[in-house]
Amino acid sequence: MANPTVTLNTSKGAIAVELFADRAPKSVDNFLQYARDGHYAGTVFHRVIPGFMAQSGDPTGTGRGGSEKPNLKAEFSKLPFERGTCGAARTADPNSANSQWFICFQSAPHLKGQYTVWGQVASGMEHVDALPTGEPPAKPEKIQAMRVAADVEG
């Protein structure tokens, strides 16, 4: 069975992400639930650091929010953080991932074994590159919609 994919629609264009259900099953299930229930629609990329990563998933847009669901236990793997790698954002507690996540702009070997890798941008990385930068950006980009491919293809 192929890994699930999701598509994020932004004003910059569509970003398709392959989810690694075999490597981080709880994180992927969690992300899919958020995507399906509309949690990510309207959320902004609230932290975009050139040369490092773009972060989203906070419904408050501040970087301090999450959801009412319980936090996840880390699912560390040997997968590297490369350009387009998607990971679970968290606090200093490794088991505090909730709804926030990030996409790497380039290799970030210092994150390996510290954050859960749950996906990889399959197409549309140029749209990630075009996100407004800042912490937070002056005019942050919104996720207009997020769709799970299996739900659309059904």
Q: What is the dihedral of CA 15, 24, 88, 150, to 10 degrees?
A: 30
- SS3 of 19, please? strand
Give residue-wise pLDDT tens across range 33-54. 999 999 999 999 999 999 999 9
User: What is the rounded average pLDDT of the residues 60-67?
Assistant: 91
Q: What proportion of the chain, given as a percentage, has pLDDT over 90?
A: 92
Confidence category of residue 154, pLDDT binned at 50, 70, 90: low
Q: What is the dihedral of CA 10, 68, 112, 102, to 10 degrees?
A: 10
Closest CA to 103 of 42, 45, 20, 27: 45
Average pLDDT, the chain: 95
Q: What is the dihedral of CA 44, 116, 35, 120, to 10 degrees?
A: 80
User: What is the rounded average pLDDT of the residues 119-127?
Assistant: 98
CATH value at residue 31: 2.40.100.10
> CA 28, CA 21: separation in Å to the nearest integer?
6
Number of domains in the chain: 1
Q: What is the CA radius of gyration of the chain?
A: 14
User: What is the per-residue pLDDT for 153?
Assistant: 61
User: What is the rounded average pLDDT of the residues 135-148?
Assistant: 97
Task: Give the domain range for residue 130.
Answer: 5-153
User: What is the rounded average pLDDT of the residues 10-38?
Assistant: 97
User: What is the per-residue pLDDT for 1?
Assistant: 55
Residue type at 9?
N
User: What is the rounded average pLDDT of the residues 92-116?
Assistant: 97
* DSSP bridge partners of 119: 19, 86
